Chains A and B, each alone.
Chain A
Amino acid sequence: MKHIRLTQGALAAALLTAGTAQAGTLTIESWRVDDKALWEEVLIPAFQKKHPGIQIKFSPTAPTEYDSALQARLTGGTAGDLITCRPFDKSLDLYKKSFLEKLDGKGGMQNFPASAKVAWQSDDGKDTFCMPMASVIHGFFYNKKIFKELGLQPPKTVAEFHKAADAVKKAGKTPIALGTADQWEASQIVFTGIGPNYWKGEEGRKAIVAGSAKFTDAPYVAAWTEMSKWAPYLAKGYSAQTYGDTQNLFASGRAAMVPAGSWDIGYYNQQGVDFGAFPPPVQKAGDKCYISDHTDLGIGVNPKSKNKGDAYKFLEWVGSQEFADLYTNKVTGFFSLSNHLIAVKDPVAKSMIDWRKTCGSTIRLNAQILNRGEPNMETELWTVNSAVLNGKMTPKAAAERIQAGLSKWYKPAK
């Protein structure tokens, strides 16, 4: 009898220790598949130097699947301890369903400006549920070698942009690397990237949210009109060109320009391309420029995490100077949102972050509030914007369809 009790005790003890050992492993949910190596080789070891014994696993899901897969895992109780947060509604929705902890007053949060936190706060600004991690800036990359050969300068105005593109085309190269097969680039990089110059950044975005402007108004249609003129500059058969194709086209030096996000800097550096960046061209020389400076990544804590103590330790580290520096300089092209002063080392990343000094910053047009209803504006914009680039839809029809979709459910827009 005593013997049996002993084995039971040993078994229980073994199970308990196994339990604690497991709770020590924090899992990070993320959609940044491309950053897996950086997390595993740079960020996590740096954290572990400070906190030895806390095991961390970075477990990313493909971006388009991330939201749905995460939602399923959170509902099923199998999601990781730390959750990478999309900005605005997506994470707000998770918070409303109590899938994210309230983070106000937690260590590290004091290092972020209010403007950075807006993306992860309740509408009244009282609850913050994710710690801001990084933003991305949209613009154009250009191949320095091709520009030099043809005697071109990075264009500042739309007219110069078209002139440069024509010159490249004449020289027998593809002016702009861009495809519409994956659809998202047409919206997230092109439309909400070049658009702010037409609708004056935040002013135009807030006007739509307030209902005082419509997508059918001139500034918004003008953005689509500009896109509709791009077809001659794109590679042959661009409607079947994927994002990977686009990256290859620019990296191999077959295309002179690519509308891109700062997150691609790391990739093109790796490919050894000699490239520079210029902000979306303005309409007339001397116009104020606007850039899409999108608060893109945050990180939150799963309330069902078995090891919240360690999760908060990690979060505090994410709010530190060390993380901000590592993230900005190692994960090139993501800019830390914290108040710390960081010297950006990469020249292209440096030039992009410097645009903030002269241009007005705005987030993606539809990121806040406008994506909440049905039809979902984000998916609608993907479809409509690629149709405009494909020449299947006129700018006017595009504007009408987006406005009609919005006014179906959004009161201020009616």
Chain B
Amino acid sequence: MKKPFPWHILVFLTPAFLIYAVFSAFPLLDTLRLGFYTTSETGSQHFAWLANYRMLLFDPNWSEGFWNAMGNNVKFFLVHMLIQNPLGLLLAALLSMRGVRGAKAYQTLLFLPTLLSVVIIGFIWQLILSPLWGVAETLLGYVGLAEHFQPWLGQEETALYTLSLMSVWQFVGIPMMLIYAALIAIPDEIIEAAVVEGASAWRIFWTIRVPLILPTLGLVTILTFVGNFNAFDLIYSVKGALAGPSYSTDILGTYFYRAFFGYQSQLGSATLGAAVATLMFLVILAGVGVYFFFVQRKLQRFSF
């Protein structure tokens, strides 16, 4: 008997496929296309092959800003990798220990900022750190550190790191939850066997737990990478699209905003913006590619 055509598969897949195609795949392809055009004085668009990319990468008017934004983005990402994710791992490890009192409450509290709007986060921190009315200086004063207070958000040297740490504060809940979920999924028998063998808690953590959650750590890394290189909202809500002082907090997202929408009297250009968006896409694609090639392939799935 001939097998009937599996219509149900088609029926179930079509809606998702259509939505994905219309709202994700098509805009992406159209952006890639638009990047090859330029906008003339009158607003009409002409095919110009690589003119936009040449401008972004080699014309000092634009390339300096682009590489500055790229550099800042890398710093932004490194702060997250060096502080947010280890902190997430530490918190998850502590919370997954047996007999921690109020573990659920801590989890909720630590995860809470993630649920808040970035605009609120930016506003709160701006108030806290304000040299005029902020509480930061007073709080530092209680521990005798008042003279170390600086207008951190206003200095070229510190503004980007301050913003990165604000972002870390907000999002540390996500790696924590993911890692926590992986940690509690490790079967008790393995840990118990190690305990019977006489392994210390420290040793159990590094030689049993961490290797078993490596796929999750990889996932967290790639999520951080994609999130950070697409970041925009926090910088925009705190420093505006000009990402001051002197572009020291400019990242690819704000750079894209200025290219696409313009800022104040600087006119935006949809085509140049599309080229910036394409470059951002390529950077993220390359990063994800490297990750899949060198890391993901070597990871083993453990199933029990």
Contacts and interface: CB of A to CB of B under 8 A. Distances in A.
Most chain A C-beta atoms within 10 Å of own C-beta, residue among B133, B150, B240: B240
A376 B265 contact: yes
B73 to A, nearest CB: 19
A44 B151 CA distance: 44
Nearest to B162: A240
Contacts of B262: 67-68, 71
Contacts of B113: none
Interface string B264-290: 111110000000000000000000000
Contact of B265 (A67, A72, A240): A67
A71 B267 contact: yes
Contacts of A321: none
Contact of A180 (B62, B245, B265): B245
B106 interface: no
Chain A, interface SS category? helix
Contact of A240 (B41, B42, B152): B152
A378 B244 CA distance: 14
A392 interface: yes
B242 A245 contact: no
B247 A378 contact: no
Contacts of A239: 151, 154-155, 245
Chain B, interface SS category? loop
Contact of B241 (A64, A248, A376): A64
Given A96-B42, A181-B154, A379-B242, A240 B129 contact: yes
Interface string B228-269: 000000000001111011110000000000000111111110
Contacts, number: 117
Nearest to A375: B61
A183 B266 contact: no
Nearest to A384: B246
Interface string A339-374: 000000000000000000000000000000001001
Given A237-B131, A239-B155, A378 B245 contact: no
Interface string A150-189: 0000000000000000000000000000011111100000
Interface stretch (A16-24, A86-94, A125-133, A263-271): A86-94
Contacts of A180: 154, 244-245
Given A235-B132, A241-B131, A249-B132, A181 B261 contact: no
Most chain B C-beta atoms within 10 Å of own C-beta, residue among A86, A184, A239, A245: A239
Nearest to B247: A383
A374 B64 CA distance: 13
B192 interface: no
Contacts of B129: 240
15 contacts: A67-B265, A71-B267, A90-B265, A183-B244, A235-B132, A240-B155, A241-B130, A241-B131, A242-B126, A245-B130, A248-B133, A374-B61, A378-B266, A382-B264, A392-B246
Interface of A: 63-65, 67-69, 71-72, 75, 86, 89-90, 93, 96-97, 179-184, 235-242, 245, 248-249, 371, 374-376, 378-379, 382-383, 386-387, 390, 392, 408
Given A240-B131, A240-B152, 14 more contacts: A67-B265, A68-B267, A72-B261, A181-B153, A181-B154, A181-B244, A182-B240, A183-B242, A237-B154, A239-B154, A239-B155, A241-B132, A374-B62, A376-B265
